[in-house]
Amino acid sequence: MLRPDNLIIINDPNLIPKYFEKERDIVREVGNTLELNNVILTYKEVAKPSKSLPTKTDEEERDWLYKEIDYAILKLEKDRNTRQAIVYNLHDSGLDHNCLNLFHFYFREDCLHLNVYVRSMNYDANFENDLYTINILLNKACNELMCDKGQMVVFIMSLHRFK
């Protein structure tokens, strides 16, 4: 873990519980939650979660994103070096701003990578499924573009657990 100026940089999703349990100096109480701010998580692959998506809205959002990334794939087909292969999550979820907010695909060193900005993520209810959603989006793009898979970098502003 590297913690420069209120950043938590982690390269293994399995380490997250340790921060909530043992790194109490960086956990903040916000309302009825315990929160880690500015978590930057990097990974290359995650297993399919054992539990299904928590709500029908989450399922609809995943389906919407799966179709919507076709826009980014088209951008990359036209120009492999584009910096414009971006998808904003505008799925109608009933929220003013969706939690999984922005998806940015880009090629570096002959691999396709994906950066994702997350406004808010409930660790217990959504974490595993959200990481898996990100994983299947990058897999789809790699399959369609016939390219090697790079890493996923997820910037999480608020990673929280309810008390």
Instruction: Retrieve residue 142's tokens.
Output: 């790699």
- Chunk the chain into consecutive blocks of 10 residues (it has 163) and report each block's average pLDDT, rounded to whole numbers: 68 89 83 93 93 93 96 97 95 89 95 97 95 97 98 96 92
**Cα 2 from chain centre:** 19
Please list, in sequence order, all residues whose beta carbon lies within 8 angstroms of the beta carbon of residue 81, skipping any fewer than 6 positions away.
107
Name the residue ranges covered by the structural domains of the chain.
8-162
89 and 57 Cβ atoms separated by less than 8 Å: no
Instruction: Retrieve residue 42's tokens.
Output: 């990097």
pLDDT of residue 25: 78
| DSSP category for residue 68 | H
Question: What is the architecture of the domain spanning 8-162?
Answer: 2-Layer Sandwich (3.30)
For residue 25, give the 3-state DSSP assignment.
helix
